[in-house]
Every structure is written in C-alpha cells, then in structure tokens.
Chains A and B, each alone.
Chain A
C-alpha cells in the first residue's frame, strides 16, 4: 500500500472500479480534512454503503426521480443546429428539463434520503450558480428539513433569481463575504458550519469535489444521466454516440455523463472547462488545462495555485464554472487519457448560447453553453454519420439578467 501522492505517470487506462477504500482515483482524491470531519465522513460512507445494498433506498430514489424530477430527461436531436454547423449530428441530453432546471436535483434528492437515513435534522449546502442551492432547498422542503445555503456575495449578485427561489423554498441564504466571494469561499463556509454541526447536520455537497466519499456519492447519483443516455441512444440510434461532451466546473454533470461510458472505449469523451477571458492566470477557471496537482477542499486534484500552494483567483462569466479546483476523478481521467479536456472562452460560450436559442428555441445555462460551444467546433470536423451528445446540464433562465449585463442591454 502506497500512501504517496504523485501526479502523472504512464497512462494505465481508466477503470470504473475507482475510488478505492481510501477514496483514491489513482493518485487523486483522498481525505484532507480536519479530524472533526472524519467522524461525519465515516458515518456518511457507512450509511451510503448500507443504502447501496438496500433495494428500498434505490426504489425510493427511482420513484422520486421519475415522478418528482420528471426523469428520464429527453435526448433531443438538435436538427437545425446540426444543419447549421454542417458536421456531426448534435443531440442534447436535456437535464435542463428536470424539476428545478438542472442536473443538480439528481444528487440532492439522493443525499437528502441519506440525511434521513442518518437521522440528521438539518441540511446545509454551498452554491455557485445557485442551481445546487435551489435543488438542495427543494429537496429540504420536500422532506421538511431546515436548510441553510452558503453563497458568495459575487454569485448572489450574478444569480439573483435563484437566490429568491431558494428563499421562496424556505431556505436561508447566507452571503459569504470572505476571499473571492464565489463558490470556493461558499464551500469553505459550509465546511466550517459542518465542523460545528456534524452531529445533527448533513452537508449536501453539490459537485464531485471535496473529501471522500463525496466525489463518489455525487458521481453515482449523477450517473443516471449517462445510463439514460446509453439506453436512449441504443433505442433511437441503435448504437452508442461517437462522442459525449459536458462542461466541467467541479464536474458533476460531466462525471454523471462520462462514468457509465468509461468502459465503452469507442465513445470519445470531452470535458470542457471555463476558458474565461483567455489563458493568462486569473482570466480563466480551467485547472485541468492550466493547473497542477494540489490539495483543495479536502481532496488531491488539479487546482489553480501559486508556487506556495495558495489557491489562485479564477474567472468565468458562468458562476457554476468559476471554481479553482475540479473533482479528483476528472484528474484521474485526464491523466489516464480516457477523457480529453479542453476549454472554451466566455465569448465562445455566449455565441453557442445565441446559436441554440436561435436555431432550436432552447436557452441553455451559461455553464452548459461551454459544452455546447466545444461540441459545435468538434462537430465541424466530423461526418453527418457521427453523433455528439452534449449534456445540456441546465436551463438559461437564471442567466437572463447576467447575459443582459454582459451584452450591455438594460431592462426592468
């Protein structure tokens, strides 16, 4: 048993048998947290193992996903968009049509059920774009649990409609004023709350980041995306797609899409990070593209950091991608070469948003627009026989005022 963490090494090919019992995806992952949280993480790991072995748990979750969330989400052939691009056929996995408008609800319902099983009485969460906050507030309201959501002040400004929704759903939104006042600081504050409240509180972490077992649990709950995609492709196309593309902030929708496809080696997988304004430090939020292995928020993974290990400032117009770290399984997939990671600038994502709205009548979230932008580029080089599935992880209504601001439009 080696406890060394060393990045890189020869590609060995990714497997789906990760993480190991210590939460390692190859070298990545682990549990770099204060001792106070070890108890809660052990408890969560044990409860999750029990739940996985309990058919009642899966049945409860399936019931909720079908009748409360509205799953399965459609797989939609964007014909006019594909025609305009003139290459591969683009299909959209419509997570934007889920209840609450994004993939986040898949995870929050699962973790809310775990909260009940652990006998905990209170839920806390962090949020960036607000989608995870809304999905957590929704799950908390559904089960009658009090809920506190930590959100950076900068994100509260950018995502006002979601803040209001969370309050309407009965959650308390606590502004985070420390550091960059974005998702990263919201996670710090949620962890601090949890340190003092672990006995009666569950922290519903919203992405495949953080200490073991969160990256695994969130990936598993989001894997319904990839499982449905496989099933829908088989039914409608008679085969698997050529390629699947998803945006990567922390990386939960991408992990959910990719994980069931990992062993299907013929399917190319592409993760798209936020390229922001450009490649200079501080202008983007793309740790897999520009970062290096390090420790952030309890996990060993690629991170944007300076030479001392201090987390670097990042930028994306999309609050949900504005994060200096990334889930450890993505780092594993990157280093094994199983998934290709690229990045897309703010302006490219905006152009993709406009294209989808104009050709298909669908407004994607700014986060999902990054995946779409990369897919449009990739599609050009492919033949019309190729199929690219894009995970449309959320809807764009929440971004309307921010898009107006970015476009210099005043309304209201």
Chain B
C-alpha cells in the first residue's frame, strides 16, 4: 500500500485531516530544502509537496515562479533534487510528493523519472500541466511502481469531468480552490466548501484543497469539507528570506507557521 493511501486511511479512521505544505526544491539550496521538510513534518505536516523548479511554470503565481527562478539561477539540477530526496524522504515520517512539470518528466524520461523518484522514497507525483487526457501513459508507469499520480480538479471543471478525473487520480485528488494561479488570497470562493463536499460524496478518493490557502482561518473553514489542505506560496514567501537571514531563524519561522496551521485542523 502506498504511504499516501495509508496516511488517508489512518486519518479518515481517526476523523482527522491532512496538512500538506509545499516547498520549492533548491531555494536557496537543496540542503535548506531538506531541513525545511524535516522541520515542517516535525511541526505538524502530514505530507510534503516538493516543487521541482521549472523555467516556464504557467500555473504558478509570482511567488512560486520567483522561487523557481532563484533556484535555477543558482544552478539546481534534477539529479541534486532527487539525490536530496533520497537522503531525506525515507526518514521523513510523512509521504513526499513532487510537483513537477511534464516538460521535465518527459525530457528526463518518463520511466527513468518514476524509477528514480521511487528509489528516492517519493510517494507520488503532481504534474500540473498534464490533464487527464494526456495522463494514461504516466499513470501506468506510476502505478507499476506504486507511485501515486495526483490529478487536479478546478472550479471550472464540469462535474461529470471531475468524476472522470477522480477515476484517473491516485492517492488523492487536488482540488484547486480558485480559477487562476497559485498564490495567497485573503478570501476564498464562498461556494468552494459546497463544491468539495459534493465531490466528496461522489468519490472515495481523498480530496485536498490548494491554491490560496494561507491562514489558520482558511484551515478552520475548509478542513471539515476536505481530507486535507495544501499550503504553498505562504511558505515559499518565507523561504525567500533564507538567502538574507540566518537559515535557522527562517526554519523556525516556517515551523511556527506550519504549527499554527496544524493547530487549526479539527481533531488536533
């Protein structure tokens, strides 16, 4: 059983929810990323999403895009990231998934990428530019290696299509809160919880909400409707300071932030 499936089986049986923070690999360097992953899990993260920097990330807002640019300018390579994950993921105590563009997976080789991710202890892949129609080949390769391929559903996805996407998604389904790019938002759409609740009634797959989630209030509001919440830009923005401040201070700040979100989860 994949570690993501295990996690959600456990959480559901305890009526608890998942918190999945996102961090960009290699910003400012992979050693910091490894520390950040450990700190976030220590402070309450149930899974971690590791962003593989990409030169042309169309789904990402300015904060994550800038982090990708910083990491690439510092010369981070895929082999450095997979190497770091190989050292970190197996002992992390929580599943790690890579958020990676299909441009990178294809160039590296679909099977080679999945082999190396699996060997590094990665539990799954989120490929934000690979919609369901283009995903059967990668899904097959992932499934054979016990990796999850997490698909996304958005507010613009028609309901019948959302159900089809859930059938091709493994591990959980990533519910994008708003039509748009990643980034912190003060207010989230009013109908969000209702739409997620509808989908949750129609699929057994766990549902995690991401894009715009950034405050304990968001967590309190949305956690009851979903199986988990994903927080990205709010953490990446804090990591951005790691280049100019003592890394230990930044790590503590990220840890405190993750702990504040974890404390807002029901059942904790």
A residues bordering B, Cβ < 8 Å? 3-5, 22, 30-36, 38-40, 178-179, 184, 188, 191-192, 195-196, 198-199, 294-298, 300, 305, 307-311
Q: Name B130's contact: one of A32, A195, A294, A311 (CB within 8 Å).
A: A32
Q: Name B129's contact: one of A33, A178, A307 (CB within 8 Å).
A: A33
| Chain A residues whose C-beta falls within 8 Å of the C-beta of B102 in the assembled complex | 32, 295
Cβ A36 vs Cβ B107 within 8 A: no
Please encode chain B, from 68 to 79, with 1 for each CB lying within 8 Å of some chain A CB and 0 for all others.
010010000110
Q: Name A178's contact: one of B54, B59, B65, B151 (CB within 8 Å).
A: B65
Q: Report the nearest A residue to B174, measured CB to CB.
A: A35
Cβ A192 vs Cβ B181 within 8 A: yes
| Chain A residues whose C-beta falls within 8 Å of the C-beta of B176 in the assembled complex | 35-36
Cβ A184 vs Cβ B107 within 8 A: no
| B184 smallest CB distance to A (angstroms) | 14
B7 beta carbon closer than 8 Å to chain A: no
B154 beta carbon closer than 8 Å to chain A: yes
| A37 smallest CB distance to B (angstroms) | 8
| Chain B residues whose C-beta falls within 8 Å of the C-beta of A297 in the assembled complex | 56, 58
| Chain B residues whose C-beta falls within 8 Å of the C-beta of A307 in the assembled complex | 107
Cβ B69 vs Cβ A39 within 8 A: no
| B2 smallest CB distance to A (angstroms) | 22
| Chain A residues whose C-beta falls within 8 Å of the C-beta of B15 in the assembled complex | none
Cβ B56 vs Cβ A311 within 8 A: yes
Cβ B56 vs Cβ A36 within 8 A: no
Cβ A36 vs Cβ B101 within 8 A: no
| Chain A residues whose C-beta falls within 8 Å of the C-beta of B180 in the assembled complex | 36, 192, 195-196
| Chain A residues whose C-beta falls within 8 Å of the C-beta of B57 in the assembled complex | 188
| Chain A residues whose C-beta falls within 8 Å of the C-beta of B152 in the assembled complex | 34-35
B55 beta carbon closer than 8 Å to chain A: yes
Q: Name B58's contact: one of A33, A294, A305, A309 (CB within 8 Å).
A: A33
| A306 smallest CB distance to B (angstroms) | 8
B87 beta carbon closer than 8 Å to chain A: no
B93 beta carbon closer than 8 Å to chain A: no
Within the assembled complex, what's the spacing in Å between the Cα atoms of A130 and B179? 29
| Chain B residues whose C-beta falls within 8 Å of the C-beta of A310 in the assembled complex | 54-55, 72, 104
Cβ B165 vs Cβ A35 within 8 A: yes
Sort chain B's interface into a size bin: 35 or more
Q: Name A192's contact: one of B58, B129, B136 (CB within 8 Å).
A: B58
Cβ A31 vs Cβ B131 within 8 A: yes
Within the assembled complex, what's the spacing in Å between the Cα atoms of A40 and B136? 22
A309 with B108, Cβ < 8 A, contacts A36-B156, A191-B58 known = yes
| Chain B residues whose C-beta falls within 8 Å of the C-beta of A31 in the assembled complex | 131, 133-134
**5 A-B pairs closest in CB distance:** A309-B107, A196-B180, A295-B103, A309-B104, A34-B59
Q: Report the nearest A residue to B153, measured CB to CB.
A: A35
B61 beta carbon closer than 8 Å to chain A: yes
| B117 smallest CB distance to A (angstroms) | 14
| Chain A residues whose C-beta falls within 8 Å of the C-beta of B62 in the assembled complex | 178
Please encode chain B, from 163 to 192, with 1 for each CB lying within 8 Å of some chain A CB and 0 for all others.
001000000000010111100000000000
Q: Report the nearest B residue to A196, measured CB to CB.
A: B180
| Chain A residues whose C-beta falls within 8 Å of the C-beta of B107 in the assembled complex | 294, 305, 307-309
| Chain A residues whose C-beta falls within 8 Å of the C-beta of B65 in the assembled complex | 178
| Chain A residues whose C-beta falls within 8 Å of the C-beta of B157 in the assembled complex | 35, 38-39
Cβ A311 vs Cβ B55 within 8 A: yes
B158 beta carbon closer than 8 Å to chain A: yes
| Chain A residues whose C-beta falls within 8 Å of the C-beta of B61 in the assembled complex | 192
Q: Report the nearest A residue to B179, measured CB to CB.
A: A36
Please encode chain B, from 91 to 129, with 1 for each CB lying within 8 Å of some chain A CB and 0 for all others.
000000000011111111000000000000000000011
Within the assembled complex, what's the spacing in Å between the Cα atoms of A36 and B176? 9
**What are 20 sample pairs from A and B whose C-beta atoms fall under 8 A apart?**
A33-B131, A34-B152, A34-B154, A36-B59, A38-B133, A38-B157, A39-B154, A40-B156, A178-B62, A179-B56, A192-B59, A192-B61, A195-B180, A195-B181, A295-B129, A309-B105, A309-B107, A309-B108, A310-B104, A311-B103
Please encode chain B, from 133 to 155, with 1 for each CB lying within 8 Å of some chain A CB and 0 for all others.
11011000000000000011110
Within the assembled complex, what's the spacing in Å between the Cα atoms of A155 and B98? 35
Within the assembled complex, what's the spacing in Å between the Cα atoms of A157 and B232? 35
| A177 smallest CB distance to B (angstroms) | 10
